[in-house]
Amino acid sequence: MARRRYVSIKEVAARAGVSFQTASKVLNGGDVRVSVETEERILAAAAELGYRPNTIARSLVQRATATIGLVASDATDVAIAQASVAAEQAARKNGHSVLVGHLAAGGADGADIVRTLIERRVDGIIAAAPEVEEDTEVAELLRRYVPSVSLQAVPGGGVPLVGSNHRETGRLAATHLLGLGHTSIGTVTGTFRRRVTRSRLHGYEDALRDAGLEPSEDLVAEGDWTPHGGALATRLLLERSPGLTAIFVHSDVMAIGVLSALWQAGRRVPADVAVVSCDDIPFAEFLTPPLSTVRIPLAETGRQAVELLLRSIAGEPVPERTPLLPVELIVRDSCGGRKIPTTKERH
């Protein structure tokens, strides 16, 4: 099979009867004044010959690469992956390519990835990596060198933030369980060092206090965002508080382990223990039982991050904090759609 031959600007210029410089500036978006007739002739010649623009040459003329850098968690983080994919698709829709750097476990290479993206002359960077939310070196690089947007707060601020109301997430989940009559509600949290964990935990505690209940440390167990961590935390909760009747889980992925641990302990869901989680990732409704969860607008988060970044790249002023995106409780079978009976009603 013959290799495809790329058409040069020189050939387009010859076909259109103009100089190389004129054709180059028209095709690469440079600052050039030509008549409408000349421009149309150049574009028609390019179409006839099958000319495809050289992105490197265009970036030299425009002093921009039409490329966005994306610093992302490992692709196994399903929630972050949803936001990252949506961001990449939104960037392409707006004529930008995306260079992605996935962090290693723990995120210690975050600064190296950001430096590499800057060296590749990306026009801006989106940080979608919770692992680096306390990394002062990454924060300084994002503030100093290129327009940047983050899905998590960065140390010292100065980087526009797009995100959801995670405190409301915890409050919604716990309030729903309280409304069903539960008073012994455990929670499997994410890692305590994460801001999203602390926000969701505070929301859960707000709901309990609003209902006249004092939060108990025995009803809080730290997970690690994995199914295994969710299972271990659930076993710990059952050891500490065998009478609990509901669990609020900080992610759907951990909820997989929570459901497994409850099944292994002989606890039926939702008859014995109701479960409400967070995120509403694609397979949540296909678990057994289907998972009740607080839907986080992950894809919309990625799209808004791109929109904000492109405005910043264009030189428009952008707010450091945009309004928090709304969250929504999705009720399925895992929480039980009924109020649990009181002690008097049981007898």
340 or 97, which is more confident: 97
Spatial contact of 99 and 122, defined as CB atoms under 8 Å apart: yes
The answer to whether residues 139 and 287 belong to one domain is no
Q: Which amino acid is present at 2?
A: A
Classified as helix, coil or strand, 274 is strand
Alpha helix locations (H) across the chain? Answer: 9-16, 20-27, 36-49, 55-62, 78-93, 110-119, 136-144, 166-179, 195-210, 227-240, 252-264, 298-313, 343-346
User: 314: pLDDT confidence band, cut at 50, 70 and 90?
Assistant: confident
The CATH number covering residue 21 comes to 1.10.260.40
Per-residue tokens: 188 = 């499997």
Distance CA 167, CA 201 (A): 7
Q: Which amino acid is present at 70?
A: L
Please say if the pLDDT value at position 18 is more than 90: no
Distance CA 336, CA 321 (A): 37
Q: Which range among 12-26, 139-153, 245-259 shows the weakest confidence by mean pLDDT?
A: 12-26
Distance CA 179, CA 177 (A): 5
Q: Which amino acid is present at 111?
A: A
> Residue 336 belongs to what domain range?
166-295+329-346
- Structural domains counted in the chain: 3
Selection from 311, 327, 316, 260 nearest residue 288 by Cα: 260
Residue-wise pLDDT tens digits, 191-214: 998 899 999 999 999 999 999 999
Whether pTM > 0.75 for this model: the answer is yes
> What's the rounded mean pLDDT across residues 107-133?
88
Q: Give the pLDDT confidence score for residue 41 in this predicted structure.
A: 87
The answer to whether residues 204 and 95 belong to one domain is no
Spatial contact of 75 and 293, defined as CB atoms under 8 Å apart: no
The answer to whether residues 336 and 210 belong to one domain is yes
The answer to whether residues 57 and 190 belong to one domain is no
Average predicted confidence (pLDDT) for the chain: 87
The answer to whether residues 149 and 183 belong to one domain is no
Q: How many CB atoms lie within 10 A of CB 245?
A: 21
Classified as helix, coil or strand, 318 is coil
Q: Which range among 116-130, 138-152, 333-347 shows the weakest confidence by mean pLDDT?
A: 333-347
176 or 73, which is more confident: 176
Q: Give the pLDDT confidence score for residue 11 in this predicted structure.
A: 84
Q: Give the pLDDT confidence score for residue 341 in this predicted structure.
A: 43
The answer to whether residues 275 and 212 belong to one domain is yes
Share of the chain above pLDDT 70, in %: 90
Per DSSP bridges, beta strands 148-150 and 124-128 are parallel
Selection from 204, 114, 130, 127 nearest residue 166 by Cα: 204
Q: Give the pLDDT confidence score for residue 242 in this predicted structure.
A: 94
> What's the rounded mean pLDDT across residues 24-44?
78
The answer to whether residues 189 and 312 belong to one domain is no
The CATH number covering residue 158 comes to 3.40.50.2300
The answer to whether residues 249 and 110 belong to one domain is no
The answer to whether residues 125 and 147 belong to one domain is yes
Residue-wise pLDDT tens digits, 257-309: 999 999 999 999 999 999 999 999 999 999 999 999 999 999 999 999 999 99
Q: Which range scores top for mean pLDDT: 16-20, 245-249, 324-328, 341-345?
A: 245-249
> Is residue 324 one of the residues assigned to a domain?
no
Spatial contact of 22 and 9, defined as CB atoms under 8 Å apart: no
